[in-house]
């Protein structure tokens, strides 16, 4: 993992150095592609890398709204949670098909975001955040109370990663196989986000963040821009949730809770909200630290809190922002 | 035909009458200055014309249709574009990115996650046009927030031009600028009016600029229309001299 960070460090922001930046990106992709080869050698395990990809995907999805559009959502766990339950319930009650279950979870999370969007898009700042939390908690209580369907506080079990059917062949997905499935979807999400950021839609997100008044006086319905951002991030976070439920064959109301929403935000801030790779890098640090620290101490959360406070104090633009600032100076 | 007509427009804020029965008309292609002491109602007038709030009484029409109850968004689409006293640009973006997002929004692309090569080329060509007309070419890759105040105002006008305005409202375009910047802005305003034929209304405190470039001048005082006419007429108007200009400006214009 440290190699990965150094790879990113080599990417300065200036146009003249675009070559180095692409090399850094290429290096990240290569490292991710070869994870099952090198991760065990440094004491990791493949499921950890899968988890990092999943949370990195969720953080990148949230960051479309948070870092690019400037909407601080403390409720995105709702769409993650819906992704997990959508996939689990689909496998249990509808068809034991992996691709359809993933699509079902993604749609459930995404469509919920599409519906919630209009109710939050008119608010700014703290009010926006409060409403997103409120909706997140609403889904949480539904998951807790609707015992018959969701398993209540105990969570949802009884589903598992069924084999993937390719043509007439049936492929069971072990740790490595599932890693590559997640990797493929992660790559797809990164491609989509990259494309959005270089499109008029993404330019509009950033413009809404920078100066909504200006944008409005260009005749743009800023709310629709925020809604679009909210919805797209909801689909991506929903997909991440779906993949998470298939990683552990389990989900619980904790996946709806605002703590998880907060963790997504922390990942974005840690890595750098203004950078393409920032949220993913934040997930690497967060999940990596969580995995390591929780094996050392029960109080790992306070250590993560400490890391967060220090990083906000010393790297207010996230780790990638800091590295870029150094490269520019 | 007059492009903009205000007919007995009054605007009250509670007990305060910010504008009292203003009637005026602006011809197509005109460069009109609005002057008056602080609190005369100049910015209120702009807010009414751009649809920020409706008049309490009276009507406003633009290009032959009444726009009294039309929203700011819809007015922008009809071609009434304004700038603000406080510069409104995208500070964290480069000059190029500022103009590009403005052009993309003007072309109605702001919800498109993908545009083809031909559309992209149209966007870029339009951005290049704006860069050329505002002469900001040397600074396109600079972060807008790091530019001088004068250059930021130029970027703001570039953004406004992205919508191909029929009527451009400039609120104190040279406020807070040095001599060089002021001259650059004055040149730009004149060029946009004379070469590009854009009808403009501008609020300005610098009388040298007002008398130097405006076709006609409207003088507001305490919410009422005090006088209207050419630079020479305004300079010679004793009521204006008494209320506002003082002897020095009168002498200069004469």
Give tens-digit pLDDT for B94-116.
999 999 999 999 999 999 999 99
Give yes or no for residue A74 having a pLDDT over 70: yes
Residue A251 in contact with residue A155, Cβ under 8 Å? yes
Domain B2-89+165-253 sits in CATH at: 3.40.50.300
pLDDT for residue A5: 35
Q: What is the mean pLDDT of residues A169-174?
A: 90
Q: Report which of residues A113 and B254 the model is more confident about.
A: A113
- Rounded to an integer, what is the distance from CA A246 to the centroid of its chain? 16
Q: Do B88 and A213 touch (CB under 8 A)?
A: yes
pLDDT at A84 (0 to 100):
97
Question: CB distance A200–B141 less than 8 Å?
Answer: no
Can you give the three-state secondary structure of B45-90, one letter per residue? HHHHHCCCCCCCEEEEEECCEECCCCCHHHHHHHCEEECCCCCCCC
Residue A211 pLDDT > 50, yes or no? yes
- For residue A196, is pLDDT > 80? yes
pLDDT at position B38 is: 84
pLDDT tens string A119-144: 999 888 899 999 999 999 999 999 99
Please check the confidence at residue A4 and state whether its pLDDT lies above 50.
no
Is some CB atom of chain A closer than 8 A to the CB atom of B102?
yes
A177-191, A211-225, B121-135: least confident range: A211-225
- Beta partners for A164? A171
Per-residue pLDDT, B245:
55
> Distance of alpha carbon B244 from its chain centroid, rounded?
22
- CB contact at 8 A, B244 and B36: yes
Across the interface, do B72 and A200 touch by the CB < 8 Å criterion? Answer: no
Q: How confident is residue A176, by pLDDT bands cut at 50, 70 and 90?
A: very high
> DSSP assignment of A82-137, as one string?
HHHHHHHHHHHHT---HHHHHHHHHHHHHHHHHHHHHHHTT--HHHHHHHHHHHHH
Q: Does domain A2-328 correspond to CATH entry 1.10.3470? A: yes
- Mean pLDDT within B23-27: 94
CB distance from B93 to chain A under 8 Å?
yes
In angstroms, rounded to a whole number, what is the distance separating the alpha carbons of residues B11 and B44?
A: 8
pLDDT at res. A11? 34
- Which class for B254: exposed (0-12), middle (13-18), buried (19 or more C-beta within 10 A)? exposed
Mutation target to probe the B interface, by most B beta carbons within 10 A, among A212, A218, A317 is A218
**Yes or no, beta carbons of A207 and B90 under 8 Å apart:** yes
Distance separating alpha carbons of residues A10 and B240, to the nearest angstrom: 66
Taking residues B207-220, report their average pLDDT.
Answer: 92
| Domain ranges within chain A, ordered by starting residue | 2-328
Which of B252, B237, B168, B223 shows the shortest CA–CA distance to B18? B223
3-class SS of residue A66:
helix
pLDDT at A329 over 90: no
Tokens of A14: 């200036």
- Which chain A positions have a beta carbon within 8 Å of B111's beta carbon? 200-201, 204, 224-225, 228
Q: A328 pLDDT band (50/70/90 cuts)?
A: low
Q: Which residue of B has its CA nearest to A207?
A: B90
Nearest to B23 by CA among B45, B39, B1: B45
Q: Which residues contact B72 (CB under 8 A, 6 or more apart)?
A: A216, A217, B50, B51, B52
Contact A202 B113 (CB under 8 A): yes
According to the model, what pLDDT value does residue A9 have?
35
CB contact under 8 A, B97 and A213: no
Q: How far apart are CA A38 and CA A269, in angstroms?
A: 28
At residue B244, the pLDDT reads 65
Give the residue-averaged pLDDT of A230-240. 98
Q: Is the pLDDT of residue B147 over 70?
A: yes
Cα–Cα distance list, B181 to A326, B82, B149, B156, B209 (Å) = 34, 20, 9, 14, 13
- Angstrom CA distances, A126 to A71, B125, B143, B194, stand at 10, 40, 28, 47
Residue spans per domain, chain B: 2-89+165-253
């Amino acid at each position: 993992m440290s190699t990965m960070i150094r790879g990113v460090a080599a990417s300065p922001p200036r146009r003249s150095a675009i070559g180095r930046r692409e090399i850094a990106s290429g290096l990240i992709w290569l490292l991710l592609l070869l994870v099952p080869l090198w991760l065990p050698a440094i004491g990791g395990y493949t499921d950890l890398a899968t988890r990092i990809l999943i949370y990195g995907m969720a953080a990148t999805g949230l960051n479309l709204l948070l870092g690019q559009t400037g909407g601080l959502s403390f409720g995105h766990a709702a769409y993650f949670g819906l992704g997990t339950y959508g996939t689990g319930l689909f496998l249990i009650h509808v068809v034991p098909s992996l691709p359809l279950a993933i699509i079902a979870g993604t749609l459930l999370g995404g469509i919920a975001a599409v519906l919630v969007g209009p109710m939050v898009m008119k608010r700014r700042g703290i009010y926006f955040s409060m409403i997103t939390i409120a909706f997140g908690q609403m889904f949480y209580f539904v998951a807790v109370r609707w015992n018959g369907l969701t398993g209540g506080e105990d969570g949802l079990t009884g589903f598992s990663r069924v084999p993937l059917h390719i043509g007439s062949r049936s492929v069971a997905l072990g740790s490595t196989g599932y890693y590559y499935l997640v990797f493929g979807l992660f790559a797809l999400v990164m491609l989509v986000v990259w494309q959005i950021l270089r499109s008029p839609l993404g330019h509009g997100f950033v413009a809404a963040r920078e100066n909504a008044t200006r944008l409005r006086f260009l005749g743009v319905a800023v709310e629709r821009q925020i809604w679009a951002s909210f919805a797209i991030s909801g689909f991506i976070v929903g997909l991440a949730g779906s993949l998470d439920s298939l990683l552990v064959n389990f989900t619980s109301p904790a996946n709806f809770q605002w703590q998880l929403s907060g963790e997504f935000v922390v990942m974005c801030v840690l890595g750098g909200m203004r950078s393409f790779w920032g949220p993913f890098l934040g997930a690497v640090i967060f999940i990596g630290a969580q995995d390591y620290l929780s094996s050392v101490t029960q109080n790992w959360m306070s250590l993560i809190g400490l890391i967060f406070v220090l990083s906000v104090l010393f790297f207010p633009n996230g780790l990638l922002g800091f590295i870029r600032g150094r490269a520019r100076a | 035909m007059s492009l903009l007509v205000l007919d007995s427009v009054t605007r009250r804020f509670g007990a305060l009458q910010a504008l009292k029965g203003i009637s005026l008309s602006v011809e197509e292609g005109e460069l009109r200055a609005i002057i008056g002491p602080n609190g005369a109602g100049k910015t209120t007038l702009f807010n009414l014309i751009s649809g920020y709030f409706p008049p309490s009484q009276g009507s406003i029409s633009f290009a032959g249709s009444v726009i009294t109850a039309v929203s700011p968004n819809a007015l922008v689409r009809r071609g009434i574009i304004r700038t603000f006293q406080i510069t409104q640009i995208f500070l964290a973006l480069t000059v190029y990115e500022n103009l590009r997002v403005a052009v993309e929004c003007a072309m109605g692309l702001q919800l498109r996650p993908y545009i083809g090569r031909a559309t992209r080329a149209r966007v870029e060509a339009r951005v290049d046009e704006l860069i050329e007309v505002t002469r900001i070419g040397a600074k396109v890759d600079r972060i807008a927030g790091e530019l001088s105040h004068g250059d930021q105002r130029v970027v703001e006008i570039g953004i406004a031009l992205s919508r191909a305005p029929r009527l451009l409202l400039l609120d104190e375009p040279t406020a807070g600028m040095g001599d060089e910047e002021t001259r650059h802005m004055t040149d730009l305003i004149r060029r946009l009016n004379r070469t590009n034929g854009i009808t403009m209304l501008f609020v300005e405190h610098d009388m040298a600029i007002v008398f130097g470039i405006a076709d006609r001048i409207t003088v507001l005082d305490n919410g009422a229309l005090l006088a209207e006419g050419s630079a020479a007429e305004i300079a010679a108007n004793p009521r204006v001299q008494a209320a506002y200009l003082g002897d020095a400006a009168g002498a200069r214009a004469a």
